[in-house]
Amino acid sequence: MEYLFSPCYTTNMNHATRKIIIALASIGIIVFAFNLNNVLFWDDADWILNNFSIQTLTWENIKFIFGNNSLAGIGQVSNYYRPFLFLTFMANYLIVGPNPILYHIVSNSIHILNACLISYLLVRWLRSYRIAFLAALLFLIHPLQTEAVTYISGRGDPLSVFFILAGIALYLKKYRWWSYGAAILAILSRETAVLFPAYLGVALMAFEYYGLIWERFKKAFINTLPFIGISAIYGLLRLTVLNFQNTLNFYQQQNIYSEHLAYRIYTFFHAFMVYIQLAFWPVGLHMDRDIPVSINITDLWTWLGMLIILGLAGLLIVFYRRSDKTAFNVWFFGTGIFFINLLPTSGIVPINARIYEHWLYFSLFGLFTIAVWYLDKFWQIFERKWSSWQPILVILLVIYCLFLGVQTIRRNLLWGDTEQFYLNILYYEPNDVRVLNNLGNWYSDHGQNILAGPLYERAINTDPLQPAPYYNLGNIAYDNGQLDQAEALYKKAITIDPMFHYAYSNLAQVYINKNELNQALNALQQLQKIYPTSQNKNNIEMLEKIINGKD
């Protein structure tokens, strides 16, 4: 295959690659143009709209972003640490403020670039423009990607994947120092990119190195050591000076899922089955998807998931022992990318939520590499034996791609209608406390407290240990002049979570209206301890003067 590296071939390859990139960019622009006017909401409010640290470019804000967790800008604590992601938010905000269009253009562009990088890498590895284009196209237009692309707070997924793909490409082009930088930026965009050396190692073992699998592993391990060092340093920092909450456990309260390793493993097998179904037949998509905790290995979905994963391992062994190594390489790469991406979100370690659709963002690359490689082999069989049936295969493929594209456009449009977006989630997850509270807030913001109140009450009945619904009911009571009821609800929110700073200032306002100024001062002082701001400090000083003057 020496001809592959001839000048003539290289020229043709570059020309074909440009055509693929133009096609992918055009399709991506069309499909995701439907999100350009979507508003910023949900976590966007905390991460962008109400986050003082990204709204002005100062050295203090830069230090704050790199020295604190992702919710510190609104006075809260989280496990997330994504400083480079927040620098992109800062860049957006400095240019257009809260206007959403540039945020969407940036996120859409990153996603399109990822598809182009995928096509570039697959051309290098599989020497097939058809495979490269189709795999990248499916990755690009799949509706599961909408959550990571259209939701601005989800930008961490495509941004970290961009640096992972770019880092691999730079490494293969011998730009090693640039690839180290890409690995660092990937990790600072989203924590899961700490597995960059594993992604690179799988790619090297599958397509760059030859020989026995153990020999490939040793060579890949040696060559990825600098990246392993970067990830190790980051991991050490996250477990020490950057351990803001509990890096390895996202649950603040003990529950059956967080306390039993076996249950988390069983539940991952169930989640795996859901992921496979959504990847090939993405219907019923919704944010905040949930699945029950599997407490028994004999659960149907758990058993099937475990059986399929064991089958995949057996299949890899069979392919490795056969003379056709290409099949092994494709399966090794595809399954490697798929499961490495899911590893940090499997719920095993670290302990986090059970399932999210956007967690498949990079996994789809591996899955579609395998699927399209077989589709290409199927196409070649048709060429040799049943060429007259080839148009039917093309039509079926076009129909499937149109199905995916239309689903993605529909999801983009739904993300632009806040009320219908929340109602869509509640259709599938009727007891989702976050969504009940968020939809209630949307109704309240639009002067429809009569619709908001019952939603907050449903949220409290579902989980009485969440402070936000009490706080929001307190706001309704305050608006209605029911000061005693508002006071009780604000106190309840603070009792549940003493760090829930929103309730303190509103409680202070209730006391001021009731002429209980000392209690108002105490509430503001408590607020200043947990969420110090210059405005609150001024309010305290003003209130102290009033009290002293009165005395």
Domain ranges of the chain: 15-40+98-415, 421-550
Cβ–Cβ < 8 Å for 122, 136: yes
Q: Can you tell me the mean pLDDT for 418-436?
A: 96
From CA 121, how far away is CA 8, in angstroms rounded? 20
Q: Would you state the pLDDT for residue 246?
A: 81
Selection from 284, 276, 269 nearest residue 368 by Cα: 276
Q: CB under 8 Å to 147, separation ≥6 — which residues?
A: 154, 285, 287, 356, 357, 358, 411
Q: DSSP letter at 354?
A: S
From CA 46, how far away is CA 43, in angstroms rounded? 5
From CA 70, how far away is CA 89, in angstroms rounded? 12
Q: Which two tokens stand for residue 49?
A: 């709209």
From CA 7, how far away is CA 179, in angstroms rounded? 26
From CA 33, how far away is CA 38, in angstroms rounded? 10
The band of 15, judged by pLDDT with boundaries at 50, 70 and 90, is confident
Cβ–Cβ < 8 Å for 22, 14: no
Instruction: Note the pTM of the prediction, 2 decimals.
Output: 0.93
Q: Backbone dihedral region of 458: left (phi > 0), alpha (psi from -120 to 50 degrees) or beta?
A: alpha
Residue 190 burial (CB < 10 Å; 0-12/13-18/19+)?
A: buried
Per-residue pLDDT at 93 exceeds 50: yes
Q: Which two tokens stand for residue 502?
A: 């929103």
Q: Would you state the pLDDT for residue 5?
A: 33
Residue 477 burial (CB < 10 Å; 0-12/13-18/19+)?
A: buried
CATH architecture of the domain formed by 421-550: Alpha Horseshoe (1.25)
- pLDDT tens digits, 337-388: 999 999 999 999 888 889 999 999 999 999 999 999 999 998 888 877 877 8
Average confidence score pLDDT of the chain: 93
Per-residue pLDDT at 21 exceeds 60: yes
Q: DSSP letter at 356?
A: -
The band of 12, judged by pLDDT with boundaries at 50, 70 and 90, is low
The band of 16, judged by pLDDT with boundaries at 50, 70 and 90, is confident
From CA 518, how far away is CA 413, in angstroms rounded? 50
- pLDDT tens digits, 165-224: 999 999 999 999 999 999 999 999 999 999 999 999 999 999 999 999 999 999 999 999
The band of 17, judged by pLDDT with boundaries at 50, 70 and 90, is confident
Q: Can you tell me the mean pLDDT for 294-319?
A: 94
Expressed in percent and rounded to 5, the helix, strand and coil fractions of the chain are 75, 0, 20
- pLDDT tens digits, 258-282: 999 999 999 999 999 999 999 999 9
Alpha helices in 42-141 (DSSP H): 43-44, 59-67, 83-96, 100-126, 129-141
Cβ–Cβ < 8 Å for 487, 467: no
